[in-house]
A = this chain, B = another copy of it.
Amino acid sequence: MRIVGELINASRKKIRDDIKEKNAEVIAKVAQDQVDHGADFIDVNAGIFVGKEADYVKWLIRTVQGAVDVPCCIDTPDPKVLEEAVKEHKGTPMLNSISLETDRYNNMIPILRGTDMKVIALCMSDEGMPYTKDDRMKIADKLVNNLVKNDVKLENIFVDPLVQPIGSGDHFGREFLNTIEAIHNKYEGIHTICGLSNISYGIPKRKFANQTFMTMAITKGLDSAIMNPLDEGMMAKIIATETLLGKDPFCEKYMEAYREGKFETKKS
């Protein structure tokens, strides 16, 4: 499982203040904590600071890369901010995100073309959110084919089918899961990713529901997630699910997690 650590996001009050005050030590620690708990990428988002976003994102990238060895996932809808941020980043970052929305698509392609950067590809078009698996696959097919035509490798594409709340439609979980499966069946080597906490919006026991849904999504092929790696219950669930799926030779990671007490606090 590839984990994109989601904590350095200015929509979180505490982080917003830390960014504003340029508390490099705090940001470095949040990056380090996430890596220590299994993050493979560190998402950096300063989208809330209108007019100052580029400066803040570049500072975040410098601060994170000064602290940890994993790449950033640069999280902005603004192509100008993105261009500056990509230049600031050492090595190849992940970009969050492209979609089939005309403006976003047209702005992102020149930045991505022929590079080795990884990119999150949202199943979203000018027609808005997709509802069914077929809606999602129509968007995914266009996006993936266009990216490949623009010399983006399949293994650098992370398709996000977008999770919608089960409370607003019984079928939303199933349509999402079936999309994950269909994408992996169709495109060998591609990745799927999501931030799945939306699934439980509006229902109680959200952590419990989210963890259960994570197990379901991994069972259908999900191989990456945007999440809080410090959520021990969720990380334990991911380890167990991958072990039971046969992705953990000799149950080594499972046994290591057990010895480290990672399965102990799992009241979900």
A residues with a Cβ closer than 8 A to B are 166-167, 170-174, 177, 199, 203-205, 208-209, 212-213, 215-216, 219-220, 236-237, 240-241, 243-246, 248-251, 254-255, 258, 263, 266-268
Listed from nearest, the 3 A-B pairs whose CB atoms lie closest are A174-B246, A173-B244, A216-B219
Q: A240-B209, A268-B266 are in contact. Are A251 and B167 (CB under 8 A)?
A: yes
Q: In this complex, what residue of B is CB-closest to A177? A: B219
User: What is the oligomeric copy number?
Assistant: 2
CB of B215 within 8 A of CB of A251, answer no
Q: List 24 A-B contacts (CB under 8 A).
A: A166-B243, A166-B244, A166-B251, A170-B249, A173-B243, A203-B251, A203-B255, A203-B258, A204-B258, A204-B263, A208-B263, A209-B240, A209-B243, A209-B254, A213-B244, A215-B219, A216-B219, A216-B241, A216-B244, A216-B245, A219-B220, A266-B268, A267-B267, A268-B268
A246-B170 contact given A203-B251, A254-B203, A268-B268, CB 8 Å threshold:
yes
Bound-state Cα–Cα, A174 to B263, Å: 22
Q: Whole-angstrom distance from the CB of A231 to the nearest CB of chain B?
A: 15
Shortest Cβ gap from A199 to chain B (Å): 7
| Cross-chain contact B208 with A266 (CB below 8 angstroms) | yes
Q: Provide the bound-state CA to CA distance between A166 and B243, in Å.
A: 8
The reply to whether A170 and B212 form a contact with Cβ atoms under 8 Å apart is: no
